[in-house]
Amino acid sequence: MWAITGATGFIGSHLMQELGVPTRAIDRRPLGSWTRENLRRALEGCTGVVHCAAIIHRPETSAEEYERFNVGGTQALLDAARDASLERVIMMGSIKVYGEAPRGTIDEETPILADAPYAVTKARGEELVLRSGDLRPLVLRLCPVYGRGDKGNVRTMIRAIRRRRFFLPGDGSTRKSLVHVSTVVDAVRAGIERRDVTGVFVVADDPAPSLREIAEIIARHLGRPRPRGIPAYVLKSVAGVVGGAARRVGVKTAISAGLIEKALTPTICDPSKARRELGIACSSDLDRTIPDEIAWLRESGAL
């Protein structure tokens, strides 16, 4: 039996359904119930735990809340895992620990440059897990995950292209690593089977597609025109004007110079270690996985 924290979330729900081993759900709500003793009882009879639960990017979240759960909650889980005599802890990490603009190709040797509360507390939680050698720790640092249940960038692109409100920044050649949720499930399954493998693994699908490639696949499967590229300086100028007007009337805007700069920054991950030591393929066919996410969005009424 393997316990899954955050079992009702995007990745956790896929693990519950597709991992192929008996599982037990552990939710992170209410936060007050996340104590060492409560977790020990939840973990009794389990072989290991996959830690997916975390406080993620939310503008209204305080630094203290990130710290309380992503660090304090992780420590409580590790203490409970020892109390329950678990053999293995697998943690869902994030490439956010490398910062918003890491240089070069990202792999396990890339320096940690966490620069926001979420990333800082995820890095500290990872450190706690990695120091727990008696629990055979495995940390899977995931690049942006997409698939059915996605709440991130691919879903946002699909909805924007559907509404004809998406423009490529620059020529669209910026490459961004993604990982399909099925690859994440494969990585966790390998971690369960290969318990001698410990440490940190960057998990991504290879090769990293360009923004133009992603956008054109989405547009084709939605029956929409190929998104046009707009020079970055034009987008930044528009963002400055729109942002200034929004601030004057006290409203938020979805466009900013910072977001445009982020879209123009390559984020390319190298999953060679995961492929070699975990034995997973680290690849997915965008022409298959993107239409599947589109189908899910339509089924759920979100498109």
Task: State whether 157 and 246 are in the same domain.
Answer: yes
Which H or E element spans position 180?
A: strand 179-180
Task: State whether 161 and 119 are in the same domain.
Answer: no
What's 248's domain CATH number? 3.90.25
Task: State whether 174 and 297 are in the same domain.
Answer: yes
Q: Which domain holds residue 232?
A: 147-178+206-267+284-303
Task: State whether 170 and 82 are in the same domain.
Answer: no
Q: Which amino acid is at 151?
A: K
Last residue of a domain, one of 124, 142, 160: 142
DSSP annotation of 196 = T
Q: 3-state class of 292 per DSSP?
A: helix
Task: Assess if residue 200 is contained within a domain.
Answer: no
Task: State whether 158 and 301 are in the same domain.
Answer: yes
CA neighbours within 13 Å on the CB side: how many for 109? Answer: 5
Task: State whether 40 and 115 are in the same domain.
Answer: yes
Task: State whether 18 and 93 are in the same domain.
Answer: yes
pLDDT in tens, 147-199: 999 999 999 999 999 999 898 988 999 999 999 999 999 999 999 999 999 99
* Number of domains, the chain: 2
Query: Which pLDDT tens digits describe the chain residue by residue (303 residues)?
Result: 999 999 999 999 999 999 999 999 998 776 667 899 999 999 999 999 999 999 987 777 888 999 999 999 999 999 999 999 999 999 999 999 999 888 899 999 999 999 899 999 999 999 999 999 999 999 999 999 999 999 999 999 999 999 998 989 889 999 999 999 999 999 999 999 999 999 999 999 999 999 999 999 999 999 999 999 988 888 777 766 666 655 666 655 556 666 777 788 899 999 999 999 999 999 999 999 999 999 999 999 999
